[in-house]
Structure 1
């Protein structure tokens, strides 16, 4: 009888210890749908993978590659515990999902001439502004006397700033820094922090894994405080201002 009890206690102890080391599966869609990243997908996959690897030194996480079509559906079916996604934390989405803090901001920024002092939406009053989406147009349409010009090409919008056709343009932060630090390094600059909360986040099903969200946030803070986050940002050539957001 004592031997049977001892065996049961041992099995319970092993199960308990095993659960602590159980890897939580985190899915990643390498297309980052619905983002239009042009040729930056690989950068974000590499960056996100390295962030997960660093966090996995403290938390047992396993990365799974999937595709956008099944990403959230399979999360609800329990095929993995979380996803890394740009899915927005709107109020109606929060009824179904829990969101971590951002680990990379992706919203639009204001791009201006090097000599400009524009750094906020309010300073666009009476200015000619280039936008590439209806969503970005909504950000500025209530600014008094603003002149909105719709574009389909980021390059053309930036070229029109240099020629004086535009005073500024709203461009996603990844593209803005890529252009301003390369082709337009002597002419244009990023004048603002991201204007929206678009970002990459860890997402779980609502009220299913709050402990993972909290632990993920804690580890992101740790990486930033230790300087490791900045090193990963630098390695993958991502915007420097994101860490100051």
Structure 2
């Protein structure tokens, strides 16, 4: 018996006992390779084979993601997702929009590969694993201009406003025990309650505060980095290869000048030039980094954290340092 293989879609002819018998071609596959991989639980392989990374995000969420008046998509997380996809060998990003609290389920149900919308890793969200941090940040303190409150120590007996987020309210409970009350709010424009003096101050994520405060000219941020927190990528649990790939991608991106550029573009906030009277200071020069300054002034690049600790209430992120900014420096030890 001989088989003649014809172009795709043409039946094969089998010659048996001198009689040609038409054999229909095999049916087309019911699913492509990416679907098979997805069904098997391998999210990374499915996305790579499909050539698309599906990212669940909240719509109209500046500075993390929004569409401008010209219809252009932009934002810190939008740009970061493009770079993560590239590092994963995936040429295209497709956004899957949804309400903030519904985004994890989009990933666990297979409707998205990952989700990004300013999520602090939360182990109480079932079926989800987290990447390493892609943005380290801290809560900040917001008060009306002219308020005597400059630090959280001055919130004794005050009423504090906070976005209705478990991470923020938990931090307030643990760190500001002598407050009068805490009021939580949901939705855009909630800083109105501070502006309207319904509360004395507000505690909020720095990345979101620097955008939303633009609409409230009578408010100011007086202290950054009240705590140490981070945003991370979420995805369906049981995908260690995806987790490792994303962590590697984030590490590569964060080491680039491009990452610092994203922070300056989307999360800018000019530091206060005011320093306490009698402070030792250093004015940043072109080409300076905290490590370089620490080496020259303190004798070790590892000492950059000493400088950072003295300035982090004024500077939301080390990547925002520019030529001409004034740093508070450790005072020289008095001679014996």
How would you bin the TM-score normalised by the shorter chain? Answer: 0.5 to 0.7
Which of 254, 258, 268 is 1:224 aligned to? 254
CA distance in 1, matches of 2:170, 2:112: 36
* Distance in 2 separating the partners of 1:149 and 1:29: 29
Deviation at 1:42, TM superposition (A): 0.6
Closer, same or farther in 2 for the Cα pair 1:222/1:114, shift >3 Å?
farther
Q: Is the 8 A contact 2:142 2:203 kept in 1?
A: yes
Partner deviation per Cα, 1:1-23 (whole Å, 9 max, x = no partner):
xxxxxxxxxxxxxx9xxx79634
| Alignment equivalent of 1:157, drawn from 166, 175, 194 | 194
Give distance in 2, aligned partners of 1:139 and 1:231: 30
TM-score, normalising length: structure 2 = 0.49
- The one of 169, 175, 181 equivalent to 1:148 is 181
Match of 2:57 in 1: 29
What is the alpha-carbon distance in structure 2 between the residues aligned to residue 204 and residue 40 of structure 1? 18
Counterpart of 2:312?
none
* Structure 1 unaligned blocks of 5 or more: 1-14
> How much has 1:89 moved relative to structure 2?
2.8
Indicate if the aligned counterparts of 2:56 and 2:112 stay in contact, CA closer than 8 A. Answer: no
Q: By how many angstroms is 1:59 displaced?
A: 1.8
Is residue 91 from structure 1 mapped to residue 119 from structure 2 by the alignment? Answer: no
Tell me how far apart the structure 1 counterparts of residues 255 and 86 of structure 2 sit (CA, whole Å).
16
* Contact 1:109/1:172, CA 8 A, preserved across alignment: yes
Question: In structure 2, how many angstroms separate the alpha carbons of the residues matched to 1:30 and 1:148?
Answer: 30
Q: Which residue number corresponds to residue 207 of structure 1?
A: 238
* Count of matched residue positions in the alignment of Structure 1 and Structure 2: 213
**Structure with max Cα Rg:** 2
Q: CA deviation at 1:131?
A: 0.8
How big is each residue's C-alpha offset from its partner over 1:64-101, in whole Å with a ceiling of 9 and x where there is no partner?
A: 222327754453344553333445532232x5111012
Separation (CA, whole Å) in 2 of partners of 1:39 and 1:53: 16
SS at match of 2:192: helix
Task: After TM superposition, give the deviation of residue 198 of structure 1 in Å.
Answer: 6.4
State the structure with bigger RCO (CA 8 A, min sep 6), 1 or 2: 1
Deviation string 1:92-140 (CA, Å, 9 cap, x unpaired) is: 32x5111012324677422246897855x5x256242421346445533
Q: Matched residue of 2:55: which SS?
A: strand
Task: Report which stretch shifted further, 102-111 or 224-233.
Answer: 102-111
Q: 8 Å contact 1:127–1:147 — kept in the other structure?
A: yes
Question: For 2:109 and 2:208, how far apart are their aligned partners in 1?
Answer: 35
Partner of 1:51: 80
d(CA) in 2 for partners of 1:96 and 1:64? 22
Which shifted more, 69-78 or 215-224?
A: 69-78
Compare the two structures and name the one with the higher strand fraction. Answer: 2
RMSD: 4.2
- Pick aligned residue for 2:107 from 61, 75, 82: 75
Q: What is residue 42 of structure 1 aligned with on the other side?
A: 66
**Is the 8 Å Cα contact of residues 104 and 128 (structure 2) preserved in structure 1?**
no
SS of aligned partner of 2:210: helix
Which structure shows the higher helix fraction? Answer: 1
The 8 Å contact of residues 30 and 67 in structure 1, kept in 2 or not, is answered as: yes
